[in-house]
Structure 1
Amino acid sequence: MKGQLINKRNLTLFYNDSCSCYVTNLTFQFSITHKMSQIKLLAQLSEKILLRQQTCRVGARCMSDWVPKEKETHTGQKWDANDYRLSRFVDRPKHVNPNFAINLIDEVPPKACVERVVCCDGGSGPTGHPKVYINLDKPGNHACGYCGLRFYRDKLHI
């Protein structure tokens, strides 16, 4: 026996012989405990009963009016409340690292150097970047283009 029912919220319930119920492409399994026809069983299932079932947590999401909280990323990306991409963050909140790299590198004080030209490789091994030479002839801080570390020429030690 196959067919479909439409409930109050205009969600179509499709059912088949194994008493599987499909609501808008989401599958819910029900077991028949009483001797009744499958049509009667599905007709008596209300929205509240569907939402109470442990296996129907996914269905509760499509009937929910909860909107995920949008966090702004380090690039300033923030989606509109009506954007479909927010549906990815219904189960869990969107994880945005609050420690942006640009803020962390600003906390590192500039390194005083005696040489006119310094070399920056961003650290040793796989954590580094290609070797860059930075000219410190002009006064002030000079930042590495890769990692953002700052260097300045300390003329007191010349």
Structure 2
Amino acid sequence: MLASKTLSRQSVRFVLARSQSSVSKVDPKILAQQAPNRTEIWSESQRARTDAMTGPRFSGKDLAKQPRPYAAINLIAKQPIRFVDSNVAVCDGNKGLEGHPKIYINLDPPRAHACGYCGLKYARSELKAELEGHTH
């Protein structure tokens, strides 16, 4: 009985020592950054990364090794405007079954219009000369 208590204490110490040694210090600047290409939040419902990555779910984890995907809001802003000949654009996410539901975007007002699902921008082709200087 004494041997089993000693063994279990040694096992606990080993596990604790091993988990503590694998957790590295994370630079607070990196932890506070929302994504590698974005420093602040972009939605009112989004929590700051420092607030979101707390609690028992993240205790003992090496946060430097956690996934840090790029913010899609910045990536989609780099996409060029798609020009169409009619006054209605059709968007389905351009990914077939991996996209979003097909929607029809009214292009009557003379400006670029973003898809509500994916953010791709559409405009009438007659506005191309006017809008090309304003992209990116």
TM-score (norm 2): 0.62
Q: Does the 8 A contact of 2:84 with 2:125 survive in 1?
A: yes
* Cα offset, 1:137, TM superposition: 0.5
Root-mean-square deviation over aligned CA pairs: 3.4
* Residue 67 of structure 2: aligned partner: 95
- Matching of residues 28-43 of structure 1 within 5 Å: none
Change (3 A) 1:156 1:150: closer
Change (3 A) 1:88 1:62: closer
* Residue 7 of structure 2: aligned partner: 20
- Residue of structure 1 aligned with 2:48, choices 64, 72, 77: 77
Distance in 2, matches of 1:146 and 1:110, equals 16
Distance in 1, matches of 2:25 and 2:4, equals 36
1:46-97: CA deviation from partner (whole Å, max 9, x where unpaired): xxxx7xxxxx3642545899644425335452225xx444414238633211
Q: Higher helix fraction: Structure 1 or Structure 2?
A: 2
TM-score (norm 1): 0.55
Aligned residues: 112
Distance in 1, matches of 2:89 and 2:21, equals 61
Structure label with greater radius of gyration = 1
Q: Does the 8 A contact of 2:23 with 2:61 survive in 1?
A: no
Q: Does 1:132 align with 2:103?
A: yes
Distance in 2, matches of 1:156 and 1:68, equals 48
Distance in 2, matches of 1:124 and 1:112, equals 18
Q: Higher strand fraction: Structure 1 or Structure 2?
A: 1
2:124 aligned partner, one-letter code: R
Instruction: Report % sequence identity.
Output: 31
* Residue 59 of structure 1: aligned partner: 17
* Residue 150 of structure 1: aligned partner: 121
Structure 1 alignment gaps of length 5 or more: 3-15, 29-49, 51-55
* Residue 111 of structure 1: aligned partner: 82
* Residue 133 of structure 2: aligned partner: none
Structure 2 alignment gaps of length 5 or more: 36-45, 129-136
- Partner secondary structure for residue 103 of structure 1: helix
Distance in 1, matches of 2:63 and 2:79, equals 37
1:130 aligned partner, one-letter code: P
